[in-house]
Structure 1
């Protein structure tokens, strides 16, 4: 009888361990990029960190998105050196704000900026443009400002939310003029004013959905 009870207990423990493992495996989560920093917010975990990168500001091609390149790349087949004038190219990123500005708490002029991809245990993480705080039912991951390329540059790239206290890539304070980020200002017309204001810089927040 004692052996049978012991066997049943062991079976129950194995089943409980299996259920626990399954629940952990099936737990929902989401990832997001923290642009301008190389550390993730509290309660999230880093997937990888790296450098903000994209097309050169005055080139029409090479993709229109801004991406986070890892700081530990690995390679498949390759040939070093520019092989073909028609191939796409990707560059590191600097911030261009060349006028006195109260937007950032310190000088960011021509600084190269990092990024980090973060894992949250929340089911949804979204970037809300033109917001300085999260909507009800959402929790703040970080806040910042919407940035993209200049309206006079030849090729577009997507808008990203750059942290309001950006970190900088070491030895990156030089004017490389490659992938460049500028603040974005609201323009009245088809965009109603109010609530928007002509020439006002757009803020942003990245928020996670409260799952409880």
Structure 2
């Protein structure tokens, strides 16, 4: 307990930044992933090609490489400067959006074809058919895989520790500098992550599953 109580401000700051990275990245990844999923099922070949290229390129790159680009390579381009937390959010959002897009696309494929045909029959164009008819049904069927993606995102935030972001992944190194046992610190970090997943994300997943199952 001494490792935790005597370094409470370090754990608080680390997991506060982890929460910021997770919430903001999840928000942008969900928006971008939905757009990319729509592009991948678009009747326009150019949009389908762009969506496929983005997913296949970014998803097959290591997250460390993406974060390294935004932390080390981006500043050399002479564009608008960003701090390390913003760079980490951009990298995590772009990376996670590819998995969100594939999860949503799989949900779109579960919607009966007759739904889209009925939407077209009443004169709805593609975008209205997608947003008003198909996506609402698709989201209801992909809650479990979407939350699996967000759980992976929560754990992926620790990669940002390698790029000067003081979050949960950086707690061990800071404890070592203070003379505290690193293994004990890692065990506390692991326990808190387990609590966040089991105590926060899993109940949230069950809530949305139960809510939308009734609505359906």
TM-score normalised by length of structure 1: 0.22
Q: Find the structure with the greater CA-based Rg.
A: 1
More helix by share: 2
TM-score normalised by length of structure 2: 0.22
More strand by share: 1
